[in-house]
Chain A
Amino acid sequence: MVNLLPQKNIRALRRTYYIRLITVCSFFLSGVVALGALLLAPSYFVSERTADASEQYLSALEETIGVRERAGAEDEIRALRESVTILNTFADDARLAPFFGDLFGEQLRGVRITSIALTREEKEVRATLGGIAETRNALIAFGDNLRAAGYAEGVEIPLYQLAQDSDIPFSINFLYRSDAL
């Protein structure tokens, strides 16, 4: 269809048409969005109230449990667990007193003990015996007796200690195992 209006009027009419179209659409859109917001309102109020109530409940609960924590039950249990672990470790330790019975149960003929040192190293006990042997044979026999006894591990008599043939000062190192017997 031919539009006989002047170009100026056609442009003005088109402009007015679009402005009205956008206006109507905007009103419609704002109505829809406002309706959506209105429908969200009950959820908004319920969620707000529920969230506040949950937080109040949580703080009341924290206060109640805080009282029990102050009673120190957890600390006491932690200390108890540590006590049991320590007591178990100490109970497993080798005792040193049986060493004297073990040592003097051995043949000490020809050997005079003048010093004994026992040092605990983790789970083991290192023993150092010092003394004087009447003869080389007595010292060698003493070393053999210790080896055969079972409680001494790694018994070594340094060769230089055999240089003298009588009244030989000696020092013997070994690991003492009280559980070996």
Chain B
Amino acid sequence: MRSLTTLIVAVGMVVASCALYVFMYAQIAEDIERIARAVGSAETLFERDASIRGQQIFLEENKDALEQLRTYLVTDGAIIETIEFIETAGANTAVDVSISSVNTRSQEAWSAHEAVDIAFSARGDFASIAQFTGLIESFPLASRVERLVFEKTTDEWFASFSIVFVKLK
């Protein structure tokens, strides 16, 4: 009976020492994996950091050029100015301009910009409206005349325009 108890104790010790070994081995393996993950993430972060730093330097060094670039886009507060641009162009070419609608529209391919659709009509003689069209297309803004219809009425021409501007969101 005594020798059997000793055997049980011995087997218990084997099981306990094996469990201890497996536990330590598993912990070390897990720690190595944690270290590898951290090193991998740190490398990615370093690359990202370098990229962001490069972008910041680029933005800083080209601040003026970028500011100039942005002047070609309509900003939130500048929609009224854009409408006034059109009205002033009409006044300068002796064309009677009437704004019909102003809408913003999201474009699928754009994430930081949106389209501003402005529909308006113009009334006057043919040469003036043609000149007005030229002025509208010469605006120092990213814009495009989408549709333009000229119709002769009894004594003058009537034109309707659909123009799209690009606005920063």
- A-side residues, CB < 8 A to B, are 16, 19-20, 22-24, 26-27, 29-31, 33-34, 36-37, 40-41, 43-44, 47-48, 50-51, 54-55, 57-58, 61-62, 64-65, 68-69, 71, 73-80, 82-84, 86-87, 90, 93, 95-97, 100-101, 113-120
Contacts and interface: CB of A to CB of B under 8 A. Distances in A.
Interface stretch (B78-86, B94-102, B141-149): B141-149
B17 to A, nearest CB: 4
Given A23-B3, A120-B144, A65 B34 contact: no
Contacts of A16: 3
Main secondary structure of the interface of A (DSSP, over half): helix
B42 interface: yes
A51 B145 CA distance: 62
Contacts of B31: 44, 47-48, 50-51
Contacts, number: 179
Interface of B: 3-4, 6-7, 10-11, 13-14, 16-18, 20-21, 24-25, 27-28, 30-32, 34-35, 38-39, 41-42, 45-46, 48-49, 52-53, 55-56, 58-59, 66, 69-70, 72-73, 110-113, 126, 130, 133-134, 136-137, 142-152, 166, 168
Main secondary structure of the interface of B (DSSP, over half): helix
A52 B136 CA distance: 65
Contacts of B144: 90, 93, 120
A37 B58 CA distance: 56
